[in-house]
Amino acid sequence: MANGQRDSKREALWRKVLTRQCESGLGVRAFCRREKISEPSFYAWRRVVRQRDEQRSRPAFVPLVVSEHHGGDAAEPITIDLCGGRVLRLPALIAAARLAELVHAIEALPVLEAQP
């Protein structure tokens, strides 16, 4: 956890620990004492797991309505900001059906974590 890289086995282990604590009916301190787990580690992993779950629940894209009519300058390209600071620039006259195909294709790709 300290080096910023995910360890899926460790995360799975802590998810089980968090579930056991919840099901035990014990408070965090009593549970950690019984399981011989560091209380600060418990709280840190609980925070990490919540943050990761929140990230997964956020939509990768904001809903987009596509129409064939362009209200502004026809030469102005369409710009779509993607996750991770990436930008997709498309010609202003791209067909709505083609734009929809591209968005669906991008949504189908797995979200990659930034590597340090």
DSSP string for 8-46:
HHHHHHHHHHHHHHHHH---HHHHHHHHT--HHHHHHHH
Say which range, 19-28, 34-43, 49-58, has the weakest mean pLDDT: 49-58
The residue that leads in pLDDT, 24 or 111, is 24
> Which pLDDT score is estimated for 27?
92
Q: In total, how many domains does the chain have?
A: 2
Range of the domain at 19: 8-57
pTM above 0.85, yes or no: no
Q: Which residue has the tokens 């991008």?
A: 106
Residues 62-109 pLDDT 10s: 666 666 555 555 667 888 776 666 777 888 888 888 888 887 777 665
Domain identity same for 52 and 65: no
81-93 burial, b for 16+ CB within 10 Å, e for fewer?
eeeeeeeeeeeee
Distance CA 79, CA 63 (A): 15
Domain identity same for 47 and 65: no
Domain identity same for 46 and 79: no
Q: 78 has which bridge partners?
A: 90
